Amino acid sequence: MFFKSKFLLFLLLQCSMSSRAPPKALLQDMVVPPRQLFGPGPSNMADSIAETQSKNLLGHLHPEFVQIMGDVRLGLQYIFKTENKFTFAVSGTGHSGMECAMVNLLERGDRFLVVEIGLWGQRAADLANRMGIEVKKISAPHGKAAPVEDIRKAIAEYKPNLVFVCQGDSSTGVAQPLETIGDACREHNALFLVDTVASLGGTPFDADALKVDCVYSATQKVLNAPPGLAPISFSDRAIEKIRNRKQRVASFYFDALELGNYWGCDGELKRYHHTAPISTVYALRAALSAIAKEGIDESIQRHKDNAQVLYSSLKKHGLEPFVEDEKLRLPCLTTVKVPEGVDWKDVAGKMMTNGVEIAGGLGATVGKIWRIGTFGINSNKAKIENVVELLSKSIEETRK
């Protein structure tokens, strides 16, 4: 009797297991249409980077892969312009760079000053709130930068432990000037944290000259690599603060000292920390090699020159940049005012049917602007002129 019922149960389980059909969608091929990515990211992959994605995997502790990680560290020191030993890439997108920086550099009882020129300052403040950290914000109206004098004054008065500035806010297209903020931080014993996710390689940045203590970025913008890694660099001051924390870093995955050891930054025997996303590291190596071949300063200059091409194409078609002061515009991401009586969504949809992506606003700028990213290989005169031509045509075709 017992065996019979057990057999019946077995049959029942078999039936119920095999009765679940596989998802039909997965029996079809994946559809990936060609697309020109002129939104705020990801950008298009360069061929030399795309090629790396079919290379065979190596073990993450194999000597050849360790060598590739070493090359990536040298390339990141080159593009961040830093001698910082703790320079590596966090496994995760740009947000993981932000989280890694903040969970290491802040602890309960600390004061955090956020310069908010758009969504990314709000995001940093939100993360600090989740961590139970006291936040003070200094905000600029959207489309403008915060005056550096105001930031310096806030540092002197509030005496924060950490100051956050986003260099290129992708929700507004503003490039925040950074000069002398680092000096004020040193003077008042604060650490200086900069988000360069949307700006690195597309506008001047020099971590050491600016006295930046921590900077992070991402792979899918100027670098033209797939999303999935967040380059990051910590100064010796930052590492000293982390080593002297009262409480341990609450995250194992984002522990900068563990990650630094895994990436070979501390000169000690490498310990297993996690399994690096091997193929994405190959892609980052290829992206850094492309920048090394062009030269970081040459890449920045090209983005600046092609931003001028974009501005004059917009003018030719009667369109206006959202950021009025040209000196405050981020060269690799331009925001454009949506003209009266035009539906931004219809226009972006029309462009998409022509295989070209541009995006609408983000956060407070939704409905007011389009965002055109000209990152890396997309910072090209002919491509930019085509995009603006198509934008103008799409506006006319969708005007009611």
Torsion sign across C-alpha atoms 336, 94, 241, 134:
positive
Question: Token pair of 45, please?
Answer: 């992959």
To the nearest 10 degrees (0 to 180), the angle between helices 94-105 and 236-243 is: 60
CA 244 – CA 241 distance, rounded (Å): 5
CA dihedral 303, 306, 310, 313 (to 10 degrees): 180
Residue from 197, 229, 328, 347 in contact with ligand PMP (CB under 6 A): 197
Residue from 170, 176, 374, 378 in contact with ligand PMP (CB under 6 A): 170
User: Which 41-80 residues touch ligand PMP, going by CB under 6 A?
Assistant: 41
**Nearest-approach distance from CB 16 to ligand PMP, in angstroms:** 40
Which amino acid is it at 86?
F
Contact region with ligand PMP (CB under 6 A), list: 106-114, 178-186, 190-198, 298-306: 190-198
SS3 breakdown of the chain: % helix, strand, coil, rounded to 5? 45, 15, 40
Q: Is 198 in the site for ligand PMP (CB under 6 A)?
A: yes
Q: Toward ligand PMP, which CB reaches closer, 93 or 203?
A: 93
137: which residues sit within 8 A by CB, 6+ positions away? 113, 114, 115, 116, 121, 125
User: Is 371 marked as a binding-site residue?
Assistant: yes
**Nearest-approach distance from CB 188 to ligand PMP, in angstroms:** 25
Q: Toward ligand PMP, which CB reaches closer, 195 or 213?
A: 195
Q: Fill in the per-residue mask, 24 to 43: x = in contact with ligand PMP (CB under 6 A), - = not in contact.
A: ----------------xx--
**Nearest-approach distance from CB 98 to ligand PMP, in angstroms:** 6
Contact region with ligand PMP (CB under 6 A), list: 22-30, 45-53, 165-173, 300-308: 165-173
Q: Is 99 in the site for ligand PMP (CB under 6 A)?
A: no
DSSP 52: G
Number of residues forming the site for ligand PMP (CB under 6 A): 14
Q: Toward ligand PMP, which CB reaches closer, 197 or 347?
A: 197
Q: Which residue has the tokens 């260099």?
A: 167
Q: Fill in the per-residue mask, 210 to 239: x = in contact with ligand PMP (CB under 6 A), - = not in contact.
A: --------x--------x------------
Q: For 334-398, give the secondary structure using H, E and C.
A: EEEECCCCCCHHHHHHHHHHCCEECEECCHHHCCCEEEEECCHHHCCHHHHHHHHHHHHHHHHHH
Residues that bind ligand PMP (CB under 6 A): 40-41, 93-95, 120, 166, 169-170, 195, 197-198, 218, 227
